[in-house]
């Protein structure tokens, strides 16, 4: 029988059944292909990368949900803990791969691989989120791509903005802000019988930054001239901290489902007016002969940038971006860290008493503490270090790194465009690195002097390498001085006697206390 006759013997229903079966087979093959991609170590984004063919061995890591990867790990507020648990489960502390949508990630939870990432020229850039780009930060030091413009900003920061002379110059002003906070706490205790620590230290920190950056102080609260500023800072902080789906799922980008792009555009318009007005006020003063030079080691950051704008070819837009970023990077980190420290002082009254005894012995009770006393307070400085270890404000070192070209970390191939992170929280809570890591014990830093400025990756709260925080010395000096003033002035107790302190965390842009700390501050002097 010929083939033509065979075809004619197949009924129409047979053709329909044949095509249905074929469709089922194709669907099954497609599903299996996607399923296999999903099951690849690190998930879909890694399965689609050239690392699959270039690596001798795959980087271990979870596949996550189909298409989504570990997206929901970034929406919990406890991302650092979730990623630490995954690294432990997959025995991938040195390096773990994972995906969030179409974004490839590697993360280190171990000092050696962390140092390799942070000190490598291959990871010289930061992945710029839509919110950071929308808020002008691609022209500021935090997110500007590595190159001549970034190196120029870095030189300005290290030489003129955060040099030792300038940190020392603002010491007296930091002391004044601390005394104002002491006074505000006394007033709140008189009125309410308790103090919400975060509000006091937040406004104090914001004023400290504004004096350093813009050369002026603001009054916050009802009818204060700092109301608009506080609104701008709060909105920007929220936008930078929110998980934006468009960053990892490009198809959603044009929809702006979360309204991030629109909010950034509206905020930047207000920031340009606010900061632009301050820059213009400085120009007017300089035109009238009221001029402060960089070489004098004084003046605010606006003065510094105006002195350097011609030599370094800075536009007004560049200066606005740089100054705006300074406000963000210098405000909440200090306030959040102080709140964590005071929470620990309430929880550990014996440590609080020991620190106060050291202050009384070194400073006495007849004068207030100053910057020059800090070097003689090793136990107080150990408390700051131990809090940075147990409650790092940037547990994932805040802003990640981006591979600018193909590279290797250890034996593993990392394709260009991969986002690299360091889980500092996992490192500082590892019992392979720290003795009794869950115990709050400042004495460990008296027994061993651990550098925290980026050379020892067991504790590097300010990062390391090219992108280390340039204001780390000023930030640390501020926290140490204000803590000493608050402990010299008050005994700190829980607002409700007999109740413990809730140490629950919430990771936004920084790792905050989930519930604001409310204390009783009883005057000592």
Annotation: binding site for heme? 469
**What token pair was written down for 171?**
């010491």
Backbone angles phi, psi at 238, to 5 degrees: -65, -40
In the chain, count of helices (H) and strands (E)? 20, 11
Residue 240's nearest CA partner among 266, 263, 271 is 263
Which are the contacts of 105, defined by CB distance < 8 A and separation ≥ 6?
45, 97, 98, 99, 400, 418, 419, 420, 421
User: Cα(424)–Cα(428) distance, rounded to whole angstroms?
Assistant: 6
Q: Which residues are annotated as a binding site?
A: 469
Residue 334's nearest CA partner among 470, 459, 516, 479 is 479
User: Cα(365)–Cα(359) distance, rounded to whole angstroms?
Assistant: 9
How many residues can be counted in the chain?
A: 525
First to last CA, the chain: 111
Under 8 Å between Cβ of 130 and 246: yes
Residue 442's nearest CA partner among 308, 347, 328, 330 is 347
Under 8 Å between Cβ of 134 and 264: yes
User: Cα(388)–Cα(332) distance, rounded to whole angstroms?
Assistant: 14
**What token pair was written down for 351?**
């440590």
Under 8 Å between Cβ of 512 and 186: no
Under 8 Å between Cβ of 434 and 458: yes
Three-state secondary structure call for residue 63: coil
**What token pair was written down for 493?**
């107790």
């Amino acid at each position: 029988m010929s083939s033509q006759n065979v075809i004619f013997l197949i009924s129409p229903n047979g053709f329909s059944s044949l095509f249905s079966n074929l469709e089922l087979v194709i669907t099954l093959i497609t599903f299996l292909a996607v399923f296999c991609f999903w099951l690849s170590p690190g998930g879909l984004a890694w399965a689609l990368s050239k690392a699959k063919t270039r690596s001798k061995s795959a980087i271990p890591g979870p596949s996550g949900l189909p298409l989504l990867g570990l997206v929901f790990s970034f929406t919990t507020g406890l991302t650092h803990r979730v990623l630490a648990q995954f690294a432990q489960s997959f025995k991938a502390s040195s390096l773990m791969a994972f995906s969030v949508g179409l974004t490839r990630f590697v993360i280190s939870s171990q000092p050696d691989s962390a140092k390799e990432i942070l000190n490598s020229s291959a990871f010289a850039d930061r992945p710029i989120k839509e919110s950071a780009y929308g808020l002008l930060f691609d022209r500021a030091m935090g997110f500007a791509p590595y190159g001549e413009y970034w190196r120029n900003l870095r030189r300005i920061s290290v030489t003129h903005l955060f040099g030792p002379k300038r940190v020392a110059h603002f010491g007296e002003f930091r002391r004044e802000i601390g005394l104002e906070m002491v006074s505000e706490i006394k007033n709140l205790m008189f009125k309410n019988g308790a103090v919400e620590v975060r509000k006091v230290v937040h406004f104090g920190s914001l004023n400290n930054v504004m004096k350093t950056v813009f050369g002026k102080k603001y009054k916050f609260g009802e009818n204060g001239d700092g109301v608009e500023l506080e609104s701008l800072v709060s909105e920007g902080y929220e936008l930078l901290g929110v998980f934006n789906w468009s960053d990892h799922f490009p198809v959603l980008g044009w929809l702006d489902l979360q309204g991030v792009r629109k909010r950034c555009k509206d905020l930047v318009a207000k920031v340009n007016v606010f900061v632009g007005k301050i820059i213009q006020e400085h120009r007017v003063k300089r035109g009238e002969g009221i001029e402060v030079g960089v070489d004098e080691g004084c003046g605010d950051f606006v003065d510094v940038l105006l002195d350097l704008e011609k030599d370094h070819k800075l536009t007004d837009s560049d200066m606005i971006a740089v100054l705006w970023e300074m406000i963000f990077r210098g405000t909440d980190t200090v306030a959040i860290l102080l709140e964590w420290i005071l929470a620990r002082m309430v929880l550990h009254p014996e440590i609080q008493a020991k620190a106060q005894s050291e202050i009384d012995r070194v400073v006495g009770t007849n004068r207030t503490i100053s910057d020059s006393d800090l070097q003689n307070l090793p136990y107080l400085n150990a408390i700051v270090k131990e809090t940075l270890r147990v409650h790092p404000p940037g547990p994932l070192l805040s802003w990640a790194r981006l591979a600018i070209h193909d590279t290797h970390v250890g034996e593993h191939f990392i394709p260009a465009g991969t986002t690299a992170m360091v889980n500092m929280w996992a490192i500082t809570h590892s019992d392979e690195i720290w003795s009794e890591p869950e115990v709050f014990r400042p004495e460990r830093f008296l027994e061993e002097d651990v550098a925290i400025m980026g050379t020892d990756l067991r504790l590097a709260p300010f990062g390391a390498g090219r992108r280390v925080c340039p204001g780390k010395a000023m930030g640390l000096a501020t926290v140490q001085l204000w803590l000493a003033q608050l402990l010299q002035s008050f005994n700190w107790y829980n607002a409700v006697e007999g109740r413990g302190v809730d140490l629950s965390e919430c990771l936004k842009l920084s790792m905050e206390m989930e519930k604001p700390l409310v204390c009783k501050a009883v005057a000592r002097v």
